[in-house]
Amino acid sequence: MLTKQNIAMALVVLRKELKDALRDKRALRMAFLPPLYFVAIFVGLVIFAVNIANDKKVAGVNSIPVYVEGEQNLPELVAWLREQGADIKPIESGAFQQVKDKKIDFALILSDEAKQKRAKGESAPVWLVYDGANQKLSSSIGFVRSQIYVWGSRVGAVNLMARGIAPDVGSPIQLREENIADEQKMSVYLLASVPLTLLLAAFIGSVGFSADMTAGERERRSLESLLITPAATFSIYLGKWLTSTLLTIVILIIQLALLAIAFRFLPFNQLGLRVDVDAVDLIKIFWVLLPVVFFAVALQLSLSIFAKSFKDAQSLIAALVFIPMLLNFYTMFNPGMFYEWWLWVPVLGQAVVIKEVLLGGTIAAFAFWKFWLVAIAITVGTFWLGIKQLRRPKIIYG
Amino acid sequence: MIRIENISKDFGNKKTGVVHALKNISFTLRDGEITGLLGVNGAGKSTLLRLIYGLQTPTTGDIFVDDINVQKNPDSARQRLGVLPDDTGLYKRLTARENIHYFGELQGLSPADLSKNSQELISLLAMENIAERRADGFSLGERMKTALARAIVHQPQHILLDEPTNGLDVITTRAVRHMLLTLRDQGRCVLFSSHLMHEVGGLCDRILIIAGGEIVADGSVAEIIAQARTATLEDAFIKLSQVTERTSGQVSEQGESHVN
């Protein structure tokens, strides 16, 4: 099959198809704009997440207004809250009623009783009044509550020390909490979307070209004339496959280059993520994606041969999008899950490995060889199927 | 020389009904002759041509192009054929010249031969004004001329044309006719199918009339008129076609709904 003559013919087909493809503005737009859109959206969302995070850090707690009735009764506690960044808004009286009337969200009530008990060294009762049905308040209430506990334990510790007792006695447990919700979680999802879009680019980047070279050839009724030439079906198919493969590789390189720039300049550290992607990592990712390109293009060509027109082919191949999407979503929503056999599943294995590379993990070299073995098997199979189809009278004249 | 030996072609299966498109046909096309293939719609003209260029396989029989068996060596046979199929399309984003060059390259022409041959055809078919224009928006005549040039750019010994002057204006038709005569005088074997009696009568050295999947007449215009005992070729064609059609029923020459 791989004779000199066949390869020469395949190159003739490749040259013509490339020329044709580069003049096809519709297919070019379809192929080269999505990577630009994706990287732009990705950068936009990361910057958005960083801004939210910074807002909360710099101005975040300050922006929590805390209504306090009876500030003069426990001035040390109020001073502590203020120190921690609360925006104290004193209320003369009737805080309870105001919360009930929904005039204010919540209030801290420090009664005279608290002042008296505090003076005697007893536990001072303070009231935190809020409407539990209001979900928006949970973080503000949580802040005030935890600060009161902290202040309480600090005062308690000082009291114990004054009596010659180690403060640890009074606090057998020290609970530390770390909430990774909101912006951090968002950035993890954002990062997980990178393998998906890369795999999509590899998988369907050149769908437009593949459809035009097969179904389009049928639609404009040039397939019969093409097959009457002495060029072997293998050469024609190989030429078309090389065209789509080359174009997809260019699309991938563009997307990877744009991502590299994005990774270089985006402040992931502000999101608490360590994203350290260098040139070697990008080459690794490219090397992982290349086998996907090989078999995906063969799949595109062999599937769209069955379509009678360019549009039919597009809708037929559009179904292919679901393969990388489903497998990727699975890994996105089950981040900790991994089985060895996943590496044998095309696309799924790649998704896991790309995410690993992005997060600085190490990958066993055999993973790459598994990808290639699987890809070559699928490519050869679909090639064979496509070549068998191309000369069927039903395809030529149907 | 193209030799057709006992060719039959059936379409369909027992479930959908079998259609005998061609029934045990034999004839030889000689070099240096223009042979016209006449037949009503569905008579089996296109099927016969498709069998010769090997995109369909006969149910029985053999076809030889210069002693090369088409079924056994389709690619070598196709090297000796120049084919203009029925309803052929161009690559719209390529210019007329690029369309011609692509097929020349697939035929294995050297770059020098390619530019020489295509330039000759462009002059012969008066295509200078469209040579560098992209095929998108070509008129029917411009498309047909480009497709014709593309089909014979490798100067094949055998030329098969399926209704080459269909829908062409008088000037283009004349250019095509002139070209066919030139090709014949070069000693090539030309077979073309047509519906136009005057064209076939004026151009062909030999006429084959196909009806109901069989060759019902084979000879020069005069011989066919004599055989049918009519005054004109048209009358002869109608008479011979109708007799056979009545006895054998209508057959389809379209392969789309049939399984090969």
- Using one digit for the tens of pLDDT, what is the confidence trace for A88-97? 888 888 888 8
**Tens digits of residue pLDDT in A219-242:** 999 999 999 999 999 999 999 999
CB-based contact A212:A243 (threshold 8 Å): no
B78–A226 CB contact, under 8 Å: no
The mean pLDDT value for B152-168 works out to 89
- A52, pLDDT greater than 80: no
Q: Position of tokens 């280059």?
A: A257
Q: How does residue A336 score in pLDDT terms, banded at 50, 70 and 90?
A: low
Inside any domain, residue A77: yes
Q: Is pLDDT at A378 greater than 70 in this prediction?
A: yes
Above pLDDT 70, what percent of chain A?
91
Number of Cβ within 10 Å of residue B128's Cβ equals 11
Whole-angstrom distance, CA of residue B100 vs CA of residue B135: 11
Task: Give, in order, the Cα–Cα distances in Å from B99 to each of A233, B46, B88, B122.
Answer: 19, 24, 12, 12
pLDDT at B256 over 50: no
Is there a domain that residue A175 lies in?
A: no
The average pLDDT across B244-253 equals: 50
Helices (H), B107-211: 111-124, 140-152, 170-185, 197-203
Handedness of CA A355, A356, A360, A364 (dihedral sign): negative
Query: Is residue A110, in this structure, part of any structural domain at all?
Result: yes
Which chain A residue's Cα is nearest to B136?
A220
Q: How confident is the model at residue B258 (pLDDT cuts 50, 70, 90)?
A: very low
Looking at per-residue confidence, does B16 or A173 come out higher?
Answer: B16
Return the minimum-mean-pLDDT range out of A164-168, A211-215, B242-246. Answer: B242-246
Cα separations in angstroms, A66 against A78, A327, B164: 10, 47, 90
Mean pLDDT of A339-349: 82
Is residue A366 a part of any domain in this protein? yes
- Span B164-176, average pLDDT: 82
> A246 and A343 share a domain?
yes
Last residue of a domain, one of A140, A170, A200: A170
> Is B90 in contact with A12 (Cβ distance < 8 A)?
no
Burial label, A178 (beta-carbon count in 10 A; 0-12, 13-18, 19+): exposed
Angle at alpha carbon of residue A224, lines to A219 and A227, rounded to 5°: 125
pLDDT above 60: residue A214: yes
- The pLDDT value recorded for residue B220 is 93
For helices B96-106 and B140-152, angle between their N-to-C axes, nearest 10 degrees? 30
Instruction: Say yes or no: A151 and A264 in one domain.
Output: no
**Whether residue A357 sits in one domain with residue A326:** yes
Number of folded domains that form chain A: 2
- Same domain membership, residue A347 and residue A278: yes
Mutation for B interface: A11, A223, A228, most B CBs within 10 A: A228
* Residues A190 and A280 placed together within one structural domain of the fold: yes
Task: Say if residue A212 is in the same domain as residue A88.
Answer: no
A19 and A72, same domain (yes or no): no
The pLDDT, as a whole number, for residue A120 is 86
Which chain A residue's Cα is nearest to B255?
A397
3-state secondary structure of A338: coil
Least confident among A75-89, A195-209, A220-234, A270-284: A270-284
Residue in B with minimal Cα distance to A21: B93
Q: Residue A204 has which token pair?
A: 């369907």
Of A12, A222, A230, the CB nearest to B79: A230
What is the share, in percent, of chain B residues with pLDDT greater than 90? 63
A129, A278: one domain: no
Verify whether the Cβ–Cβ distance A20 to B106 is below 8 Å.
Answer: no
And the tokens for A208? 């437009």
Residue A265 three-state SS: helix
Q: Given this model, what pLDDT does residue A191 score?
A: 76
CB < 8 Å to B50, chain A:
393
Tell me what ipTM this predicted complex has: 0.89
Tell me if A103 is assigned to some domain: yes
By C-alpha distance, the chain A residue nearest B161 is A225
In a domain, A279, yes or no: yes
- Residues B57-69, mean pLDDT to the nearest whole number: 94
Average of pLDDT values for A258-263?
88
- Picking from A124, A149, A170, the residue at the C-terminal end of a domain is A170
pLDDT of residue A15: 97
B8-31 pLDDT tens trace: 999 888 888 888 889 999 999 999
Residue A376 above 60 pLDDT?
yes
pTM of the predicted model as reported, rounded to 2 decimal places? 0.79
Residue at a domain's end among A123, A149, A170? A170
Same domain as A388, residue A251: yes
Range of the domain at A323: 4-54+182-397
Q: Please report, for the domain that includes residue A96, its CATH number.
A: 3.40.1710.10
First to last CA, chain B: 27
pLDDT at B225: 92
How does residue A177 score in pLDDT terms, banded at 50, 70 and 90? Answer: low
Residues A267 and A141 in one domain: no
Q: Does the structure show a pLDDT above 70 at B255?
A: no
Is there a domain that residue A219 lies in? yes
Of A19, A229, A392, the CB nearest to B103: A229
Domain annotation covers residue A193: yes
Q: Does A148 lie in the same domain as A110?
A: yes
* Mean model confidence pLDDT for chain B: 88
Q: Are A309 and A247 in a shared domain? A: yes
